[in-house]
Amino acid sequence: MTQDELADKLDTTRQTISRYETGDRKTNQDTLFQLGKIFNVSINYFFPKENDTEKHDQEVSLDDVFDKNALFTYQGKKISDEDLDVIKRILESRRDK
């Protein structure tokens, strides 16, 4: 499919498609769903998994994960520092088993 053909299907311009391909422009979720329908793939197709062996070989400290400067949310709401401490204690207790 050419950039012009895809642009027509997405109701946008060839330049926008080119910018998506080069990474100069990010797409929104609506466009990702449209692309999934056009190419008959799940939206997950656009988010490839990282190399699993790299992830497993790399150790990450809970202190690094729960950096107080990080913003953690659940269902769009900020998780309080107190709740993060509880989550951290639960994870630490599970790690010790």
pLDDT of 53 reads 46
N-terminal to C-terminal alpha carbon distance within the chain? 53
- pLDDT (tens, 9 = 90+) of the chain, 97 residues, equals 899 999 999 999 999 999 988 888 888 888 989 998 998 888 888 777 765 445 455 566 666 666 656 677 777 777 787 887 888 888 777 776 6
pLDDT of 12 reads 94
Q: Which two tokens stand for residue 61?
A: 């400290």
3-state secondary structure of 77: strand
pLDDT of 17 reads 92
> Could you give the dihedral angle defined by the CA atoms of residues 21, 23, 26 and 30, in that order, rounded to the nearest 10 degrees?
20
pTM metric for this prediction: 0.49
